[in-house]
Amino acid sequence: VIWMTQSPSLLSASTGDRLTISCRMSQGISSYLAWYQQKPGKAPELLIYAASTLQSGVPSRFSGSGSGTDFTLTISCLQSEDFATYYCQQYYSFPRTFGQGTKVEIK
């Protein structure tokens, strides 16, 4: 099983801020990493796959980077609709695993 450490678990921020969320793997996964956004009471939505490829329709203020064991999700200029919880997921091997989640709240 590939274990994932996502940090921080909670992020307090203001509109316009630049945010970085980290995801670290217990072993290398090349670029087999996705990022999801989930708003309260809603299903998650895909933001990024292959570590850095933006899903169609996702705003360009979202970006992903990294490979191997260390990955980052960056939101360059936080908007009101970005307050949500973010999860990373590895798909290098089964069982698939998710990070613990990062809740982005209004400061």
Partner 1 sequence: EVQLVESGGGLVQPGGSLRLSCAASGFTFSSYAMSWVRQAPGKGLEWVSAISGSGVSTYYADSVKGRFTISRDNSKNTLHLQMNSLRAEDTAVYYCAKDSPNGDYVDYWGQGTLVTVSS
Residues that bind partner 1 (CB under 8 A): 1, 32, 34, 36, 38, 42-46, 49, 55, 87, 89, 91, 94-101
**Which residue, 83 or 92, has its beta carbon nearer to partner 1?**
92
Extract the tokens encoding 98.
Answer: 């998710």
**Which residue, 5 or 15, has its beta carbon nearer to partner 1?**
5
CB of 95 to partner 1, least distance (A): 5
E-strand stretches of the chain: 4-7, 10-13, 19-25, 33-38, 45-49, 53-54, 62-67, 70-75, 85-90, 97-98, 102-106
CB of 36 to partner 1, least distance (A): 8
